[in-house]
Homo-oligomer: A and B are copies of this chain.
């Protein structure tokens, strides 16, 4: 791989073997249940057979159908990751068959999109703004890169290289090319991956072109989306989203100061910007990421790592607008948040990025899939009146395969190396081979995280070698202890949020790292209008919620908690039989006694209160029992 300006190199996910009770079973469920479930749904909805190019579809079509190629693409990516970590002949055969189908649909000029080959060939490259054509190309490329890595067979990768070459011939600043760019970013980051897989620098240059060109316009130079609309005979002012903020094309990326528009588009774009900053050392791109990250994390992110409150644009609204019950917080948007923060973490080696990654991973991401791996949430609200339920599939099924590819490659988020450094970002029982220096080092992590903060590391290596172990001190952690080979090692974290232990490490060395994990009550900035007078419960990396299933026939909005009881009035208790085994938080609260009220809609006497037991469960596990209410932010008095 070429030299980059990234400070860290992430571990390849195949080098991380999970041995824990939390992630290892989820990865296995993902492999054996979720991947097959999604494959079946892709077949049922014609998304796989679409590559045979003999389906029928009316025009105009639902946009969801037009970008249908992206879903099998994400599936092949996810399945390839699964194959890379564990052989599976049945899955391998499914992957190979799909790869052949995709290759079979490719046109002589390299073009590869079932809708615009088969249904609307006259619309090819005519509406980059709306029709997801380059978005699908990006997912196919990501799938092909993963496929080649997992199988060693480059046939799909070669096909997608031909498609990328076609795109490269079509778009750019050179005379005769269209100066367009994707309406839904995704291709940009895929091209960086393709560059890594092929070492063909044209792909990196094309990614850079797409990013630099995006949002360029001036009084003298019309916006590309206006130009292509006029060429189609459409009125650019009739754009349904009203503003190119929707697709982050309202201004050049380096001028953007706020995270706006469609949340998934923003995260995919910013991920590519971080990629490009790492590849090129372009400081203006890194600064852009930092600026947008500050806005997102300090003004526009749910406690769960959910982002994008509005259903209207599937995205952002204004600073501090974080309604809980109507939160859109698409699963794919939190995945994008993880992708972007993972890249920023490698770029800058700052624990704050891992904090956000961890917040998303254990909360707004993991909530997206049911415990049994067959039901999903597209939206991840922080409160439900009982009308939100998991579904087996969606009309727009982007989230399930996106979840699957992330769980199948989860290891990549946990560790990195730097020259002479070994970095631990996240915590889970695992056995990982890393190369901080001249030899492979096997790091064995044992922990019952996220239920317990005690973490044990053991080193296995051929020869002693000096390097620095960087242990992330989570932003949520206010107390910890550290012992190296049984001796206290008082260490304060560096400015980047990592505790540094530099020494000559040898086989058998042990580190005991204990993160205190008391229950925490969290409050929202006074600028968040929807959350004043409320508090949420957290423990370790987990956000907690109340569910109707644990509170009889009570309406959860009738519950209030005395602020004086927070957080100490809530006690953690592991319940092995509940929700696959979770630490619950048990406490007391007050509930409005509806029975004493009567029929009046309004009355001058306040309702009576009674004491009740409360049981909070991890947010990620909500909606896995009978349908009912859920609430993260509790009223306090």
Contact = CB atoms under 8 A, between A and B. Distances in A.
28 contacts: A297-B601, A298-B599, A298-B600, A303-B602, A320-B601, A385-B529, A521-B604, A521-B606, A522-B603, A522-B604, A523-B606, A525-B602, A525-B603, A526-B555, A526-B594, A527-B555, A528-B601, A532-B558, A532-B592, A533-B533, A533-B560, A533-B637, A535-B606, A536-B602, A566-B606, A567-B604, A606-B636, A636-B637
B557 A604 contact: no
Contacts of A528: 601
Q: Of A301, A522, A601, A635, which is in contact with the most chain B CB atoms at under 10 Å from its CB?
A: A601
A167 interface: no
Contacts of A555: 526-527, 529
Contact of A523 (B567, B604, B635): B604
A636 B607 CA distance: 12
Contacts of A604: 520-523, 567
A536 to B, nearest CB: 8
A239 interface: no
A563 B299 CA distance: 32
A522 B601 CA distance: 10
Contacts of A606: 521, 523, 535, 563, 566, 636
| Number of copies of chain A assembled together | 2
A532 to B, nearest CB: 5
A523 B557 contact: no
A532 B556 CA distance: 10
Given A298-B600, A566-B606, 15 more contacts: A298-B599, A299-B601, A520-B604, A521-B604, A521-B606, A523-B603, A525-B601, A526-B592, A526-B593, A526-B594, A526-B607, A529-B557, A532-B557, A532-B558, A533-B533
Interface in A584-637: 592-594, 597, 599-607, 635-637
A525 B528 CA distance: 26
Nearest to A321: B385
A371 interface: no
Contact of A301 (B521, B601, B635): B601
Interface in A483-537: 520-530, 532-533, 535-536
Nearest to A525: B601
Contact of A522 (B527, B533, B602): B602
B299 A525 contact: no
B607 A523 contact: yes
A532 B297 CA distance: 30
Contacts of A636: 606, 637
Q: Of A566, A567, A604, which is in contact with the most chain B CB atoms at under 10 Å from its CB?
A: A604
| Smallest CB-CB A-B distances: 8 pairs | A526-B594, A526-B592, A529-B557, A637-B637, A533-B635, A523-B606, A520-B604, A522-B602
B603 A527 contact: no
Given A529-B555, A557-B529, A523 B605 contact: yes
A329 B603 CA distance: 21
B601 A524 contact: yes
Contact of A524 (B524, B602, B637): B602
Nearest to A294: B599
A522 B81 CA distance: 60
